[in-house]
Structure 1
Amino acid sequence: MKVFFDARWTRTDTHDGISRYGASLVEAFSRIHPVTMIINDERQLALLPDGIPYVRLNSAMSPKELFLPRKLRKLGADVVFSPMQVIGSLGRDYQLILTLHDLIYYRHRTPPGFLPLPVRIIWRLYHMTYTPQRLLLNRADAVATVSETSRDLIVEHRLTRRPVEVIYNAPPEGLGSTAAVEPTKDLVYMGSFMPYKNVETLIAGMRFLPGYTLHLVSRIKPEREAELRALVPDGAEVVFWRGISDGDYHQLLKSAAALVTASKDEGFGLPLIEAMAFGAPVVCSGLPVFHEVAGEAAAFFDTDSPRTYADAVLAVSEPARRAELAAAGRARAADFTWDSSARRLLALMQRLTA
């Protein structure tokens, strides 16, 4: 079985969620079955695992995408996996697995700000109805998604007639530390600043958390930073990192009072299990997917309530509760590995080609 991974969604500077998902999954998959990566820019190799064969083909956004199936037929593809639902498929003679991570933008239609205006307009129109998504997904032989919550939504909205398989997200391999670290009063938020992420609630809650510092570690546009700075309560400590290295991020997590998020929608919630791997308490909004991912290893609060958010932070800062969550979190994080996700994907491919 000759397998190709579409790695053309890999970033060339630093990973976003989909870029990291694809790179981590192909690395784990390569350890159990031969695989060839599809790239369109050799700079992508810097963020992809070493030693895996690759072919350089056209960009996924190029008109040449119409001829991708012909190229893959010549290369002898039996199965093609894409970490997105966008890939040329007309005239293919191989099995195709597409990925839909979540349905967030059907409920929160504001597109990412980095997209050009014409693309943002198309984005909004695309998410006005489920029809385009159905047309994309039904081109596949199977659909992958990253959580049972997302799978249930795909089924509920009848987005595809194809089988839907959960290929879980996972933290980086070897993450975590069992060494005891003196806890601080640092609260850490990792994620974008899109409206549905609801960072405003985290900032408002600092009014009830004197002595604590909220670290917003992700990259942020100056105008969005200005909007959020205007909301910081008098006397509250909020630090805008404007981007952080993995090393600094992990160092913060090791001693953090909590990893916090007030998100109103998610497909998985990778920062939660990254924090749990380090034994950092997790304080998060009560989304179904957060309950799925964290289980009993997190403290939950009402999404739009700064007060219940602050109360949850104070509760997990109690030494006994912190120790309880640290142990439960490490155990829960160990349930999610790229090795197990790769094996799920290989089993799906084998069923499709049997």
Structure 2
Amino acid sequence: MRLLMDARYTRTGRHDGISRYGASLVEAVAGLAGASSDLELAMLVSDPRQLEVLPDVPHVLGPSPVSAAEAATALVLNRCAPDVVFSPMQTMGSAGRRHGLLLTLHDLIYYDHPQPPADLPAAVRAGWRLYHRAWWPQRVLLDRADAVVTVSHTTRDLIAAHRLTRRPVHVVPNAPQPGTVLTPDQALDRLPRRGRKLLYMGSFLPYKNVETLLRAAGRLPDHELHLLSRIDPARRAQLQALVPDGAHVVFHDGVDEAEYADLLAEAAALLHASHAEGYGLPLVEALAAGTPVVCSDLPIFREVAGDGAAYAGADDDAGFAAAVRALGDPAGARAQVLAGLGRARAYSWEDSARELLAVAHGVHESRTRRPA
């Protein structure tokens, strides 16, 4: 089977969620391809710089996924004659395709929270808002595929509830990065040395609800809330104006992988008060590092973290502060950290790659059996 994986969403700086998902799956599939005689792997990129952070496998140069040329992507790929193409998004051009197609829908967040990421081109942001005003455009996109991939059982259930596709939907989850999941002894050794830093990793879109974390910081004057991600200056000013008296809040405006790992190693907890998520990768990264997690009580967070996290209502700053205080109980913190490690070990990119390959093989076999 000739499998081509769409890596055009790979960021050359620090990954965002889509970038990490796609690049990590390419890396894991590449690792499995070496042991498989019937798998021929290639990547689709739109910027040669993306190759610097991707594995050394054959590649094809295609259009930017946010350009008008995206509509003709299938015609570009037909020249490569792949059997199956996988994209970590659902917008890949498919007109005239002669290959199997797997598309990904990560979540349904933007139907309830339609504000697009600020780094997208203005025309794409406008189309984004129009697209999420109705369900039918999503149905049209997904039904172009042979199968659909999503990252969680929670999202798969929502796709079914809204009848978004007639195609089979498969769960191929996110995972912590290889080698980052601590042993129980390593995690427990860190526990007494954890300080007073509280971390937030994620965007600052309204549905992320960072405002609750700021209010919680006001209830925790002996702690320090660190907001790690890059932030638009206007949004930063807006949030700074909401910092309560007595709260200690640090805006990092971006950290690299090494800084993030160091902060996870010493933090008292990672906090996440989102109103909606498709998966919650920062939670899994924290659990893998033995970092206690306090998060909003969402079905997806329950699916991912189970009893390895403490929960509070998304707008309940007092509940978040109380959960942080409860980590001062050594026995309770120890139990939560060990449970969190168990949840982190439940996910691996190799397992996700195997699941993706099983879906791709199924699509390829189904198309091969079709009458000419």
Q: Sort the TM-score into its range (normalised by shorter chain).
A: over 0.9
Alignment partners' CA distance in 1, 2:266 and 2:249:
17
Query: Which residue, 163, 170, 174 being the options, matches 1:165?
Result: 170
- 1:298-337 superposed matches below 5 A: 298-337=309-348
Tell me, yes or no, if the aligned pair for 2:23 and 2:54 is still in contact at 8 Å: yes
Partner of 1:244: 255
Partner of 1:253: 264
Matched, 1:14 2:14: yes
Supply the AA of the counterpart residue of 2:154: T
Alignment partners' CA distance in 2, 1:8 and 1:101:
16
Alignment partners' CA distance in 2, 1:8 and 1:306:
39
Tell me, yes or no, if the aligned pair for 1:98 and 1:140 is still in contact at 8 Å: yes
Tell me, yes or no, if the aligned pair for 1:185 and 1:257 is still in contact at 8 Å: yes
Matched, 1:150 2:155: yes
Q: 3-state SS of the aligned residue for 1:329?
A: helix
Query: What does the per-residue CA deviation read over 1:80-122, in whole Å, with 9 as the maximum and x for residues that have no partner?
Result: 0000101111121211000000000000011212234333222
Q: Tell which deviates more after alignment, 58-67 or 36-45.
A: 58-67
Tell me, yes or no, if the aligned pair for 1:14 and 1:47 is still in contact at 8 Å: no
Give the TM-score normalised by structure 1. Answer: 0.97
Alignment partners' CA distance in 2, 1:108 and 1:67:
30
State the shift of 1:330 in Å. 1.0
Tell me, yes or no, if the aligned pair for 1:15 and 1:47 is still in contact at 8 Å: no
Supply the AA of the counterpart residue of 2:6: D
Alignment partners' CA distance in 1, 2:311 and 2:123:
39
Q: 3-state SS of the aligned residue for 1:296?
A: helix
State the shift of 1:63 in Å. 4.1
- 1:91-240 superposed matches below 5 A: 91-178=96-183, 179=186, 180-181=189-190, 182-240=193-251
State the superposition RMSD in angstroms.
Answer: 1.3
State the shift of 1:61 in Å. 3.5
- 1:288-299 superposed matches below 5 A: 288-299=299-310
State the shift of 1:183 in Å. 1.3
Gap runs ≥5 in structure 2: 34-39, 366-372
Q: 3-state SS of the aligned residue for 2:44?
A: strand
Query: What does the per-residue CA deviation read over 1:34-88, in whole Å, with 9 as the maximum and x for residues that have no partner?
Result: 3100111101112212x21111122234444344323322312100000010111
Alignment partners' CA distance in 1, 2:66 and 2:255:
30
Tell me, yes or no, if the aligned pair for 2:195 and 2:266 is still in contact at 8 Å: yes
CA separation of 1:137/1:259 partners in 2, compared to 1, >3 Å: closer, same or farther?
same
Partner of 2:368: none
Tell me, yes or no, if the aligned pair for 2:219 and 2:247 is still in contact at 8 Å: no
State the shift of 1:140 in Å. 0.2
Q: 3-state SS of the aligned residue for 1:295?
A: helix
Tell me, yes or no, if the aligned pair for 1:257 and 1:317 is still in contact at 8 Å: no
Matched, 1:45 2:56: no
Q: 3-state SS of the aligned residue for 2:351?
A: helix
Tell me, yes or no, if the aligned pair for 2:182 and 2:341 is still in contact at 8 Å: no
Q: 3-state SS of the aligned residue for 1:170?
A: coil
The count of corresponding residues between Structure 1 and Structure 2 is 353
Partner of 1:57: 62
Alignment partners' CA distance in 1, 2:342 and 2:324:
21
State the shift of 1:175 in Å. 0.7
Query: What does the per-residue CA deviation read over 1:304-350, in whole Å, with 9 as the maximum and x for residues that have no partner?
Result: 11111111111123211111111111111011100000000111111
Tell me, yes or no, if the aligned pair for 1:78 and 1:94 is still in contact at 8 Å: yes
CA separation of 1:62/1:305 partners in 2, compared to 1, >3 Å: closer, same or farther?
closer
Alignment partners' CA distance in 1, 2:66 and 2:263:
38
Tell me, yes or no, if the aligned pair for 1:177 and 1:254 is still in contact at 8 Å: no
CA separation of 1:62/1:183 partners in 2, compared to 1, >3 Å: closer, same or farther?
closer
Q: Tell which deviates more after alignment, 169-178 or 188-197.
A: 169-178
Supply the AA of the counterpart residue of 2:321: A
State the shift of 1:19 in Å. 0.8
CA separation of 1:89/1:322 partners in 2, compared to 1, >3 Å: closer, same or farther?
same
Gap runs ≥5 in structure 1: none
CA separation of 1:234/1:166 partners in 2, compared to 1, >3 Å: closer, same or farther?
same
CA separation of 1:261/1:62 partners in 2, compared to 1, >3 Å: closer, same or farther?
closer
Matched, 1:76 2:81: yes
Tell me, yes or no, if the aligned pair for 2:219 and 2:321 is still in contact at 8 Å: yes
Matched, 1:268 2:268: no
Query: Which residue, 328, 338, 353 being the options, matches 1:342?
Result: 353
Alignment partners' CA distance in 1, 2:106 and 2:317:
29
Tell me, yes or no, if the aligned pair for 1:169 and 1:268 is still in contact at 8 Å: yes
Supply the AA of the counterpart residue of 1:84: M
Partner of 2:288: 277
Alignment partners' CA distance in 2, 1:59 and 1:184:
44
Identity across matched positions, percent: 53
